[in-house]
Amino acid sequence: STWVQVAPGLVAHAGCRHPCLHAGAMGASLDKADCLPLPTLDEAYSVVELLDGRSLAFREYGDASGVPIIFYHGNLSSRLFMPSWDETHEAAVAAGARVIAVDRPGYGRSSLHCGRAYMDNGAELRALLASVKGLAGGRRVALLGHRSGAPHALAAAYVTMVPGMACQVAAVGLASPEWPRTGKHGICPPTPADASAAVTASYDSLRAACEELWDTWPDRSRLLAADLVEATRQGLSAAEQDYLLERSPWDFELEDVSCRVLLWQGTDLDSGEGEVTAQSLGSEALGAAPVRQMAARLPHCSASFIRGETHLLVRRRFDDILAALVDEVSRDERRQSKQGSAGEEQ
């Protein structure tokens, strides 16, 4: 087999305030305990060049003529996250969704953006809409954010609300900006050292999970490992940024998000039913209680709090989430078309 080294070595990215852990060199001859099999997946992806010289990578899935849905992955994931449960694109095709999965800055093939803030997503989304075939000209789109990607989707929608373009946002397993203010779960406030320790523990846990599943669930483990390897291609700086951003005051107000937001949240951790482990990637910060407060602050939010689910509900309910987004965008397009026809008659 071909292997990729995952025993971390300390490196620093130019311009960053603290070092990150790097995934290491490919092709090294290592013991299985220190490395993961390097999956072979279709590496087709596209790149948008941003005005500041950075690159934003993305990959498309599903129905090429369907409703565009920009997907923002969570912490320690990449554009390859979706295939880990929809490898053949059946869910996306069935829903009529054209999923455009981006590598958020510093993950996968997208350039690291040191000092980034949530509001920076606006310029990136504008560049994506202007560059990707079929997205220019103000067509309705949807944004789907999972976990750490959810506030990025909300901020992108807020910044990019331009005349002629409407967008719906789906947030799944959302982190809440209330934690820094309340000190809930001991987050008050985090430091770069806290971020490094937490992200490293999450990374180690994910790696261990992939190794444990390799013999008993090889297909799923192959996909999860591919996503993890790609996510950490540049190290862990992007994941550390996510950790700090989530636990610091956000740079936009939820009350100012004027688009419609569909929110899905599992309640297991809210009721104490879910077991919090290292493998849950900081799930102690994903209970439903603070997210209920956040949903109340969003002016146009339809929230679904689902018992028996955790933040992993995106995998089990992906069909429903895509279908809901496609329906929202399609209804909005029909409504806009009727308004345009009525205006012409007058």
Please report the pLDDT score of residue 215 as a whole number.
78
Report the run of H or E that residue 201 belongs to, with start and end: helix 192-213
Instruction: Identify whether the C-beta of residue 143 lies closer than 8 Å to the C-beta of residue 153.
Output: yes
Q: Which of 147-151, 218-222, 242-246 has the lowest mean pLDDT?
A: 218-222
Whether 280 has a pLDDT exceeding 60, the answer reads no
Please report the pLDDT score of residue 341 as a whole number.
59
38: closest CA among 30, 49, 50, 46? 30
Whole-prediction pTM = 0.80
Could you tell me the CA-to-CA distances from 160 to 67, 116, 127, 257, 321 in Å, in that order?
A: 18, 17, 11, 10, 22
Instruction: Identify whether the C-beta of residue 129 lies closer than 8 Å to the C-beta of residue 121.
Output: no
| Placement of tokens 């603290």 in the chain | 18
- For residue 45, how many other CB atoms are within 10 A of its CB? 19
- For residue 135, how many other CB atoms are within 10 A of its CB? 18
Q: Where are the domains of the chain?
A: 46-345
pLDDT band at 190 (very low <50, low <70, confident <90, very high): confident
Superfamily of domain 46-345: Alpha/Beta hydrolase fold, catalytic domain (3.40.50.1820)
The mean pLDDT of 176-181, rounded to a whole number, is 53
Could you tell me the CA-to-CA distances from 58 to 73, 102, 336, 345 in Å, in that order?
A: 11, 4, 29, 42
The mean pLDDT of 85-104, rounded to a whole number, is 90
The mean pLDDT of 64-91, rounded to a whole number, is 88
Gap between the Cα atoms of 257 and 234, Å rounded: 32
Which comes out higher in pLDDT, residue 11 or 308? 308
Gap between the Cα atoms of 319 and 1, Å rounded: 34
Whether 321 has a pLDDT exceeding 70, the answer reads yes
Which comes out higher in pLDDT, residue 41 or 130? 130
Gap between the Cα atoms of 133 and 314, Å rounded: 27
Please report the pLDDT score of residue 5 as a whole number.
32
